[in-house]
Structure 1
Amino acid sequence: MDLQDLLNEQSEENQPKKETPLKSLEADLKFYNDSIKEVAVEIMVEGISAYPIFVAHQHEVKLGEPILDKDELNTNWSIHASTLEEFVEKGIIQESRKEKFIKQFKNAHYFMCLFVIVPEGANFVFFPYKS
């Protein structure tokens, strides 16, 4: 056995736990709060959609329109603005599941609807706006 083998034998219990990327997302969302809410209201008031969806990602995505760039703002997450209609058009939400999604959708004046993309996959999250 060589020295490298001994160094790599630390048990997983001794390894520092990796912080979930969602912790950094939460911090960024608090910072982005007012901007996201302003865009959500604009989407609804202009009649673009009653269902604004914000795509949170750390890599390049081709979904929605960029509104907050992590590199420009020195944060961890970028945000794109999208809508339920775009998600259906691109097949992310199947037409047959659209009504179910609408029933689950929380009031967009109080919650931001996020489509969070991480290497393991993607999921919808509703995050309350701070007052």
Structure 2
Amino acid sequence: MESEELLGGVNPNGGEQKEEKKQSPLVSLEKDLAFYADSIKEVAVEIMVEGISATPIFIAHQHEVKLGEMILNREELNTNWTIQASTLEEFIEKGIIKPEKKEHFLKNYKTPEDFMCVFVIVPEGANFIYYPYSKK
């Protein structure tokens, strides 16, 4: 699913060229996701077992986001990324995923017992990634 589809045509690359050989924020995200994996999996299982949703989605961000419920605060944990827990249903309700795109999303959704579905929000845009709970 393309970020333009989710953000209503917002350019995910931003407007201006600001390439200053900065390290990609995804490097720190991968480090944090590995650190958070057990906690995120526990929340994902809880969301599914309690019947809240069969499709948990986690939001990774470095700013304030009004989506989902905060489960891991970067300031409290001295990490780079805050993680919030949400569901496919909330993403549809808030218009991030259009109802007509639901089936497309579900076809691409990976097994929630093995992968965390993460909606990564950066200043340039946002997109979904799937990160394995355990990297062997």
Instruction: Report the TM-score range of the alignment, normalised by the length of the smaller protein.
Output: 0.7 to 0.9
Pick from 43, 47, 51: which aligns with 1:47? Answer: 51
Distance 1:94 1:16, change over 3 A: closer
Compute the displacement of 1:16 (Å): 6.9
Which residue in 1 is equivalent to 2:102?
Answer: 98
Aligned equivalent of 2:29, options 25, 29, 32: 25
Q: Take 2:54 and 2:26, find their aligned partners in 1: how far apart are those partners? A: 26
TM-score by length of 2: 0.84
SS of the equivalent of 2:128 reads strand
Q: What SS does structure 2 have at the residue aligned with 1:54?
A: strand
Does residue 72 of structure 2 align to residue 68 of structure 1?
A: yes
Aligned residue pair count: 117
Structure 2's unaligned 5+ residue stretches are 1-18
1:81 aligned partner, one-letter code: A
Given candidates 99, 118, 123, the residue that maps to 2:122 is 118
Q: Aligned-residue CA RMSD in angstroms?
A: 1.2
The percentage of aligned residue pairs carrying the same residue is: 70
TM-score (ref. length: structure 1): 0.87
Tell which has more relative contact order, 1 or 2 (C-alpha 8 A, sep 6+): 2
Q: What amino acid sits opposite 1:28 in the alignment?
A: D
Corresponding position of 1:128: 132
Q: CA deviation at 1:17?
A: 2.1
2:82 pairs with 1:82: no
Task: Extract structure 1 runs of 4+ deviating beyond 6 A.
Answer: none
1:37-95 Cα offsets, whole Å, 9 max, x none, are: 00000000001000000000000000000000000000000000000000000000000
Considering only CA atoms, is the larger Rg found in Structure 1 or Structure 2?
1
Between the aligned partners of 1:34 and 1:129, the Cα distance in structure 2 is 7
